[in-house]
A and B are shown apart, each in its own frame.
Chain A
Amino acid sequence: MSKTLISARGLRKSYGKRNSKFEALRGVTLNIHEGESVAIIGKSGSGKSTLMHLLALLDKPTRGEITLNGHPTARLRAHKLNTIRNKKFGFVFQSFFMNANDTVLNNVILPLKIAGVGYRERHRRAVSALKTVDLDDKRNNKASDLSGGQKQRVCIARAIVNDPKVIFADEPTGNLDSATGEKIINLLFKLNREKGITLIIVTHDQDLANKCERQINIKDGRIVSDTSADAEQDDDGDEEIREIIAESEEDDDEDATPDKFEGDNNIDGMLDQKHPVHHINIDEDEEDL
């Protein structure tokens, strides 16, 4: 088993105050290993995006702890967290988030600019990232002139331009048709395979999730299943209730049942499986990105 990269213990996250209090996460414990590809699956409002935000250090848990390479992150200063996100993480979002008026190249350069990399160096690295996603001929185009698939590829280039350890992808195919989505996914898995970048994909698309080595199902702020062998369960008092709720609701939770997955942890083997790509839109995912 490879080294643990991100480890979460008893994560809880609640929003709002007393009366209008909403618990997005109710105790999540998991380990993510280097080089893994992990899908976090769940319906809208299940807490999957919240979990990703916490793992990506974009937000702080109300309770619980996240360690990165064994180092607790709770007491890290904002400056440190910014540096980690900037240098170690890459982000791919459902709605791209590009500066539409800027050129493709400048969009890819953004993380390097924030990091304070010099002009020549960042130009060189951005061009090389664009080559990886096969878009270096479009580098001087305006971002708004690209198609959806091209935009998402630019975003992937932006995510890898800093040579990150982890890519967090929040519904990366959500705004794309299935054929284009497939290409994006293949690109992400290629990066996972060839560069050893850990992939954490948040999605409600079971087909996409099935391509990952590991699926973590989230429901009502708890993990209901985790295909990982060393999946660790929450050890707090709500454990029983959690399982009861999980079982009782399992039947009407068609798209999130991990049981269907019978693949092994072999990446190549998994990618060889030619799953027909269904783009299942179970519900309008308004709350999540």
Chain B
Amino acid sequence: MKFLDIIRDANANLLRNKLRSFLTILAIFIGSFSIISTSAIQAGVNNFIDQQVDSYGGEGYLAVVSKDSFDALEGLTGAMGNGNSTPIEYKEDKIQDGMTPITNEQLDKIKKIDGIDGDSLVEQKSLNISYVSSKKTDKKYLIGAEALPPGNIKVETTTSGQLDLQGDEYQIQLEKKYVDVLGYTEENIIGEKIQLVVVDQFKHTQKTFNVKVVGVIAPGVISMGYSYVNNKTADDIYTENTKYYPAEYKDHVVAIAVNYDYKNHSAKEIKDKLEDIGLSAMTIDDIIGSIKTFFDVILTVFKIFGFIALLAAAIGIINTLFMSVQERTREIGLDKALGMSSARVFLSFSIEAISLGFWGSVFGITVSMILGNIANNIFHAEGGFLESFPSFNLATYTIKDIIIVTVLIMFISFLAGTLPARRAASKNPIDALRYE
């Protein structure tokens, strides 16, 4: 018997009892719909995060603070949040915000660690800019900006270019929301100079930096609304910020960013080495990871529900096919009397089961894709919660996921079908023909 005939007959047999087949397919549909939908959302979220990380680059990037600072941060959030950690003791030699500066001795040691690129070490300076303005407007706006960290980091810009990090010119990648209010469009602001103004908090002196816009930053998870400036700009603004600071505050470094050789060293290895000298480090993945974990946990729960639905559907397949075997006992007897082998009988019932699974998953995936696209459009429309993230498709259907889900469901259906298929195959042609 030809394989194509078996497939055609299996589907014809399913059509013989349309309502029963439909209900079984419906059960599979529910399972496949939930699984493909959660996969799509998971893919959407991961895709977006990966896009952010990719656009940000950041392989080899390490954010380093002293271990005490790290514990303090955890302690603070712990004390406020889950309450699992103990309050931190006040110590005279520490700065009052709980941050422990990285010592010069530690800085020297970092540079000597095998695998760390000492030249890339940058002190993370928090810049205090009073406002931004431009020639085209009288208004002044608050702005957050920081030096672009080291690492192969690129910020996703909607228009044009990257910062000349080591250059002598003041440069900025401006967050998109400032473009309009400063009186420009995304296209014509490139190359223009805007004014970053620093007013000293002690002496109220004022200094204006004329900074050239080299790019406009797309909104994203990592930039968090910040604009980025090159090293020269950052250094000069920081110097201005700390001009009147008391001496003991002036040179302390709370956080640094540094590159490691990610091709030859694992992040864990480098982190352990830093740990040995009393420092804690985070990679981009560590920073992003928490967001991913959050989504993964929720979606895994939904996926489990999908699998439970699929399990129920599998029992439906077993039931449907057992009824079918019962009804078609004589037919099976005739087929076997006329020379159909047991293996073929088994195969034809298995293919019926697989067909049920196939149609169930095809319908599930199709409906999910239609609803997913509608949802994406609604969320991206004005007022939708993804309006400001044009590159974030909540539901993303990858060919890989579609194939995996379809094959998985067909396999589960096959397993469910083996029971009735075995019963059909083991029928004795004579007994089957006698069956009333």
Contacts and interface: CB of A to CB of B under 8 A. Distances in A.
B338 A114 contact: yes
A99 B13 CA distance: 11
Contacts of B55: none
B340 interface: yes
A114 B434 contact: no
A282 interface: no
Interface stretch (A2-10, A38-46, A75-83): A75-83
Interface in A61-109: 78-79, 82-87, 91, 93, 97, 99, 101
B342 interface: yes
Contact of A114 (B333, B335, B342): B335
A181 B433 CA distance: 22
Contacts of B19: none
B331 interface: yes
Q: Which 7 A-B pairs have the closest CB atoms?
A: A86-B339, A82-B339, A85-B339, A97-B334, A114-B340, A111-B338, A82-B341
Given A58-B337, A59-B430, A82-B336, 6 more contacts: A85-B338, A86-B339, A91-B337, A97-B433, A110-B338, A114-B335
A79 B343 CA distance: 10
Contacts of A113: 1-2, 5
A97 to B, nearest CB: 5
A79 B433 CA distance: 20
A111 B5 CA distance: 13
A118 B434 CA distance: 31
A86 to B, nearest CB: 3
B341 A78 contact: yes
Contacts of A111: 338-339
Interface string A19-46: 0000000000000000000000000000
Main secondary structure of the interface of B (DSSP, over half): helix
A115 interface: yes
A79 B341 contact: yes
A99 B340 CA distance: 16
A116 interface: yes
Interface of A: 53, 56, 58-59, 78-79, 82-87, 91, 93, 97, 99, 101, 110-111, 113-116, 118, 289
A44 B58 CA distance: 88
B2 A116 contact: yes
A289 B333 CA distance: 13
B1 A85 contact: no
Nearest to B434: A289
Interface string B398-428: 0000000000000000000000000000001
11 contacts: A56-B337, A58-B337, A58-B429, A87-B339, A101-B16, A114-B1, A114-B339, A116-B1, A116-B2, A116-B5, A118-B2
A58 B434 CA distance: 13
Contact of B430 (A53, A79, A87): A53
Contacts of A116: 1-2, 5
A115 B342 contact: no
A91 B5 CA distance: 22
Interface residues of B, number: 22
B339 A289 contact: no
Contacts of B340: 82, 86, 114
Contacts of B303: none
Main secondary structure of the interface of A (DSSP, over half): helix
B176 interface: no
B67 interface: no
Given A58-B430, A93-B433, A116-B1, A83 B337 contact: no
A116 B340 CA distance: 10
A73 to B, nearest CB: 14
B380 interface: no
A114 B342 CA distance: 12
B331 A115 contact: no
Contact of A78 (B331, B342, B430): B342
Nearest to A117: B2
B339 A97 contact: no
A87 B339 CA distance: 8
A84 B335 CA distance: 14
Contact of A99 (B331, B336, B337): B331
A226 to B, nearest CB: 24
Contacts of A78: 341-342
A116 to B, nearest CB: 5
A87 B342 CA distance: 17
A115 to B, nearest CB: 7
A55 to B, nearest CB: 13
A144 to B, nearest CB: 13
Contacts of A85: 337-339
Given A59-B430, A86-B339, A87-B339, A97 B1 contact: no
B212 interface: no
Contacts of B337: 56, 58, 85, 91
A48 to B, nearest CB: 14
Contacts of B429: 58
A72 B222 CA distance: 81
B34 to A, nearest CB: 36
A223 B355 CA distance: 51
Contacts of A86: 338-340
A99 B16 CA distance: 12
Contacts of A58: 337, 429-430
A87 B340 CA distance: 11
Contacts of A289: 433-434
Interface string B334-354: 111111111010000000000
A97 B330 contact: yes
Contact of A91 (B2, B338, B434): B338
A114 B341 CA distance: 9
Contacts of A99: 331
A114 B2 CA distance: 8
Contacts of B339: 82-87, 111, 114-115
A85 B336 CA distance: 9
Contacts of A59: 428, 430
Nearest to A107: B334
Contacts of A56: 337
Q: Which of B2, B336, B339, B433 has the most CB of A within 10 A?
A: B339
A86 B338 CA distance: 5
Nearest to B334: A97
Contacts of B16: 101
